[in-house]
Amino acid sequence: MKNSRGPGRKKGSAAGKSFCDLPSRAGKKVPGDNRSAFYRHRGDMRWTGVIDEPYKTAAGGWAGIVRRVLVGNRGESSRFHVRYFEIAPSGRSSLEWHRHEHVVICIRGRGAVKFGRKKRIMDFMDTVYIAPGEVHQLVNPYDRPFGFLCIVNARRDRPKVLSRKRGPEG
């Protein structure tokens, strides 16, 4: 049988261990620390090591929404971010537009997406591509949470929040 530690590696040394055997660095990621990571799903759309974050810092016509960043704020070098958003019953995202594109994939409940002049109901695994410059909003008119993954460019402009009556607010 061949030596599973590889040539020149001694039993018991760090050099003889795979990365799976080394001490965990969980919870110790810092900006610029680009390492692979695993976030275990704990149920109820929560992941170990992923915290709830504010949807936006200022009011803008949105209500009942939580954000959880899965990939994108722990020093990764990816050119995309993956976020989970959950909109409570009767909640909504801000009505907004921006110069970057993004993809929304429904993974919990159902909700509605407004983009341009269209409105579509989203069910499990329905996917929408929102083009740059498209006015859009996600809403939950139902009695259960509407959860979705949002995949977006890592480098992106800030959204311009709109009001149906007054136009751009930001």
pLDDT reading at 40 higher than 90: yes
Question: For residue 59, what pLDDT is reported?
Answer: 67
How do residues 7-32 score in pLDDT, each as one tens digit?
Answer: 444 444 444 433 333 333 444 445 55
Question: For residue 74, what pLDDT is reported?
Answer: 86
How do residues 130-169 score in pLDDT, each as one tens digit?
Answer: 999 999 999 999 999 999 999 999 999 999 989 754 333 3
Contacts with 80 (C-beta within 8 Å, 6 or more apart), sequence order? 71, 72, 151, 152, 153, 154
| Cα distances (angstroms) measured from residue 159 to each of 11, 53, 147, 162 | 55, 17, 20, 9
Domains and CATH numbers, the chain: 36-168 (2.60.120.10)
Contacts with 5 (C-beta within 8 Å, 6 or more apart), sequence order? 11, 16
The residues annotated as belonging to the active site are: 150
Instruction: State the pLDDT confidence band at 60, using cuts at 50, 70 and 90.
Output: low
Question: For residue 75, what pLDDT is reported?
Answer: 85
What is the mean pLDDT of the segment spanning 64-91?
A: 93
Residues forming a β-bridge with 86: 66, 147
User: Measured on CA atoms in the order 48, 122, 164, 117, is the torsion positive or negative?
Assistant: positive
Question: For residue 62, what pLDDT is reported?
Answer: 84
How do residues 80-125 score in pLDDT, each as one tens digit?
Answer: 999 999 999 999 999 999 999 999 999 999 999 999 899 999 999 9
Whole-structure pTM value = 0.75
Question: For residue 63, what pLDDT is reported?
Answer: 86
